Amino acid sequence: MARGRRMESLRALLRRALGRVSLVFFIAMHLACLLVIVYLPTWKLVLLAIGSYLVRMWAITVGFHRYLAHCSFRTSRVFQFVLALLGTTAMQNGPIWWASWHRRHHKYVESAGDPHSPPVLGFWSAHVGWIFDPKNDETDLSNVRDLTCYPELRLLDRFAWAPLVAWALMCNAIAGLGGVVWGFVVSTIAVDHATFFINSLGHMWGSRRYDTPDTSRNNPLLAVLTLGEGWHNNHHFYMSSARQGFFWWEVDVSYYTLELLSWLRIIRDVRKPPPRVLSRLSG
């Protein structure tokens, strides 16, 4: 019994230490953005930053969110790993941790169990502060049993830092230290805050088509920044859909790529909102 308590105390100390390291690294990444005044923008650096942003934002919205968290389409085990690997390069922890906490968000939306609820926590805690709360370090494996059966996903979760290092090294190989600053540092911070805006602004700013039991909102600007995630009220009303821009005028770049991948037979069974959902409007 005493040994068990000591082990639990040791694990708690380790979690707090890792949490502090993560916070320091997150702050350091923001400060490193100032290096853009040393490595001034060139076409090569700007294009590297944009490309790095688009690839990893796409991996978060298509891979981590629509696939791993919501199972809105099916694919092979190989492409599943590719999506998870690319998503892990975005500095948002591992795929299993991400999917577990996102599923918890939907289950307990805007209640005490929701990890990033603006009405409960306020803007900044919902935007980014929740990530560094020690109680959110652990992964609730009970709601991701469909993912923990894959050892390669568990490996990515355990060594989530490795793809980050690999991405930075790739940027260095392409354009030297300037490539690291623009293709890794600036791009990573941009991807992360654009994603976090869905958790914060996505529940505070925009319009509401559906009368959901939360404050989720549709926001065209956020949809552009996140390749389609800004149609957040749509998503909360029918979360299993791979298409979040329900109508043709709601731009959803991620969904367009899923249609292409489906045509190429890389993915299958792409879920879409049924007519009953499209006709059930609240104004």
Domain ranges of the chain: 2-278
Q: Tokens 């922890």 map to which residue?
A: 93
Burial class (CB in 10 A: 0-12, 13-18, 19+), 97: buried
Under DSSP, the state recorded for 74 is E
CA neighbours within 13 Å on the CB side: how many for 39? 22
Are 197 and 127 in contact by the 8 Å Cβ rule? The answer is: yes
Write the CB contacts of 142 (distance below 8 Å, at least 6 apart in sequence). Answer: none
With a cut of 80, say whether residue 9 has pLDDT above it: no
Write the CB contacts of 62 (distance below 8 Å, at least 6 apart in sequence). Answer: 83, 254, 257, 258
With a cut of 70, say whether residue 4 has pLDDT above it: no
With a cut of 80, say whether residue 3 has pLDDT above it: no
Segment 115-141 mean pLDDT: 89
Segment 5-25 mean pLDDT: 64
Kindly report, residue by residue over 48-102, the tens digit of the pLDDT: 999 999 999 999 999 999 999 999 999 999 999 999 999 999 999 999 999 999 9
d(CA 82, CA 103): 21
Segment 158-185 mean pLDDT: 97
